[in-house]
Amino acid sequence: MKARAAVAWEAKKPLSIEEIEVMGPREGEVLLRTVASGVCHTDAFTLSGDDPEGSFPCVLGHEGGCEVVELGPGVKNLSVGDHVIPLYIPECGECEYCKSTETNLCQSIAGTVWTGYMPDGTRRFSKDGKDIFHYMGCSTFSEYTVVPEIALAKINKAAPLDKVCLLGCGVTTGIGAVLNTAKVKPGSTVAVFGLGGIGLSCIQGAVMAGAERIIGIDINPDKFEFAKQLGATDFVNPNEIDGSFVEYMQDTYNGGPDYSFECIGNTHVMRDALECTHMGWGVSTVIGVAGAGQTIETRPFNLVVGRTWKGTAFGGVKGRTELPGYVDRYMNGSIELDSLVTHTMPLEDINTAFDLMHEGKSIRSVIIF
Ligand code: NAD
Ligand code: AHE
Ligand code: ZN
Ligand code: ZN
């Protein structure tokens, strides 16, 4: 079938709106109509050319709200018309990772997902006979996309797809990082570095965990009002601190925050985020994604004295079993999404969504198909 899609022909170039060809679903696969898709910083990261796994041309997008259009052979648990959120981390339920309670990193199709292919090693997208890569197994910047059943969370049909699409990445990642990965304790002091869609969702998570002080940190002070609305109690602009930022944090916050979250993708900030935490028990969680070849470093002493460095993907959430519950929590008012959608636009204007992100003017843009 034909579909309108935003194609990334090459890195560093604007997306191009094209009519592409989408092949039907094969064994275990599902054809979806994308109703809405958020734009995450990771889409921009891959488009920048810094992602070692980025393959071009591709259809980006991994924060989708979709409707099931057609089932491939062998699809057992979905029906045409169901509403789903595509998962860049699937849940096969059978691999050792799925059976472990320690991780959400199902590895059943990881060998193909991250290189832009379907599990059988082929692709479903093309334009004028030229194959186009999938992206994170989702490719939600296309009107129609094909995703394996094991990478689809079936959700409450009453939920608005133009809002709950944010649960396909940003909001779930931030909340899950706090609750599942760091396991923030009530009464804690939490520092969140970077107040975009992910950092603001960490703030939501910190409130849910019962944190007492929640410090929003950003070099763009326009983000502080959003953080305040979601429950941040303190705000720090590192550009306004004279001298050592780490010392400032430790002096101001009683030895430093108990927990910190890096939601930027800046390896220097990752270091500060670790080193500013409280000696003896500080836990710092890396969420931001950094470019090929970049590494993090600290003096080993900073770990010897009891700090822990952690990382998280999709907030440790197992998508098929746990994500429907996140949608229900949005529906009953215990997860905030609406105010994070600062902009909506048709697919034709998708490059504006990237511009707004880079200019620091949006939290989340949502593409409405
Ligand atoms: P975003 O662009 O919306 O927000 C980033 C924020 O960081 C902005 O508010 C920006 O002003 C701020 N910032 C930039 N440099 C800073 C600095 N030096 N100090 C303080 N603040 C600074 O991005 P997002 O969509 O929220 O994504 C954040 C990061 O998380 C990205 O690296 C993204 O790739 C990553 N991510 C990871 C996962 C995961 O599963 N691990 C999931 C989603 C996103
Ligand atoms: N391709 C990058 C890694 C990108 C990455 O870490 N992706 C996150 C999700 S970011 C969503 O916005 C993830 O879930 N990774 C799990 C995995 O198995 O890759 C690189 O550096 O190679
Ligand atoms: Zn994302
Ligand atoms: Zn699995």
Q: How far apart are CA 145 and CA 107, in angstroms?
A: 22
| Residue 77 φ then ψ, to 5° | -110, 15
* Residue 330 belongs to a domain: no
Q: What is the pLDDT of residue 56?
A: 98
- Pocket lining: 52 vs ligand 2, CB cutoff 6 Å: yes
Span from the CA of 264 to the centroid of ligand 1 (angstroms): 3
Whether residue 73 is contained in a domain is answered as: yes
369-to-82, 263, 281, 344 alpha-carbon distances in Å: 17, 28, 47, 10
Ligand 2 atom closest to the CA of 41, numbered from 1 = 12
Q: Indicate which ligand has the atom closest to the C-alpha of 63.
A: 3
Which pLDDT does position 16 carry in this prediction?
A: 98
CB–CB of 143/347 below 8 Å? yes
101, part of any domain? yes
Do 300 and 363 lie in a common domain? Answer: no
Distance CA 330, CA 342 (A): 17
Is residue 142 a part of any domain in this protein?
yes
Does residue 323 lie within any of the structural domains? no
Q: Are residues 151 and 194 in the same domain?
A: no
Which residue has the CA at smallest separation from atom 6 of ligand 1? 194
Q: Answer whether 317 contacts ligand 2 (Cβ < 6 A).
A: no
Domain assignment of residue 126, yes or no = yes
CATH number, residue 355: 3.90.180.10
Do residue 147 and residue 199 come from a single domain? Answer: no
Q: How many CB atoms lie within 10 A of CB 212?
A: 12
> Do residue 187 and residue 162 come from a single domain?
no
User: How close is the Cα of 15 to the center of ligand 1, in Å?
Assistant: 21
Residue 247 placed within a domain: yes
Can you give the pLDDT at residue 198? Answer: 98
Give the count of alpha carbons within 13 A of 20, CB side only: 30
What is the position in ligand 1's atom list of the atom closest to the CA of 289? 32
In terms of domains, do 299 and 361 share one? no
Q: What is the mean pLDDT of residues 244-257?
A: 98
Tens of pLDDT, residues 52-68:
999 999 999 999 999 99
Residues contacting residue 354 through CB under 8 Å, at least 6 positions apart: 14, 15, 39, 43, 44, 47
- What residue numbers bound the domain in which 200 lies? 174-312
Q: Indicate whether 78 and 149 sit together in one domain.
A: yes
Buried b (16+ CB within 10 A) or exposed e, 6-42: bbbeeeeeebebbebbbeebbebbbbbebbbbbbbbb
Average of pLDDT values for 123-132? 98
What spacing in Å lies between the alpha carbon of 314 and ligand 3's midpoint? 8
Residues 97 and 206 in one domain: no
79 touches 158 (CB < 8 A): no
Q: Label residue 288 by pLDDT band (50, 70, 90).
A: very high
pLDDT in tens, 196-231: 999 999 999 999 999 999 999 999 999 999 999 999
CB atoms within 10 A of CB 293: 7
| pLDDT for residue 87 | 98
Per-residue pLDDT at 253: 98
Q: 126 and 57 in one domain?
A: yes
pLDDT at residue number 220: 98
Q: Which of 114, 202, 286 to mutate to test the pocket of ligand 2 (most atoms within 8 A of CB)?
A: 114
- Residue range 141-170: average pLDDT? 98
- Taking CA atoms only, the protein residue closest to ligand 1 atom 34 is 42
Do 92 and 187 lie in a common domain?
A: no
Question: Across the chain, what does the average pLDDT equal?
Answer: 98
pLDDT class for 90, splitting at 50, 70, 90?
A: very high
CA of 317 to the centre of ligand 2 (A): 14
Q: Which stretch of DSSP H or E encloses residue 99?
A: helix 96-99
d(CA 283, CA 368): 38
- How far from 207 is each of 92, 120, 146, 214, 367, CA to CA, in Å? 32, 43, 37, 8, 29
Residues 6+ apart with CB under 8 A from 28: 72, 73, 74, 75, 119, 148, 149, 150
ipTM for the whole complex: 0.99
CATH number where 276 lies: 3.40.50.720
Last residue of one domain, picked from the residues 296, 312, 328: 312
Residue 289 CB–ligand 2 contact under 6 Å: yes
Residues 113 and 161 in one domain: yes
pLDDT for the residue numbered 172:
99
Question: Within 6 Å (CB) of ligand 1, which residues are found?
Answer: 40-42, 45, 169-170, 173, 193-199, 217-220, 223, 238, 263-266, 269, 287-289, 312-314, 357, 360
pTM: 0.98
For 25-50, the pLDDT digits (tens) are 999 999 999 999 999 999 999 999 99
Both tokens assigned to 144: 């129609």
Distance from the alpha carbon of residue 114 to the mean position of ligand 2, in angstroms:
8
Total domains in the fold of the chain? 2
Asked if residue 236 and residue 153 are part of one domain, the reply reads no
CA of 306 to the centre of ligand 1 (A): 26
Average pLDDT of span 254-260: 99
**Within a domain: 56:** yes
CA of 288 to the centre of ligand 2 (A): 9
279 and 205 in a single domain? The answer is yes
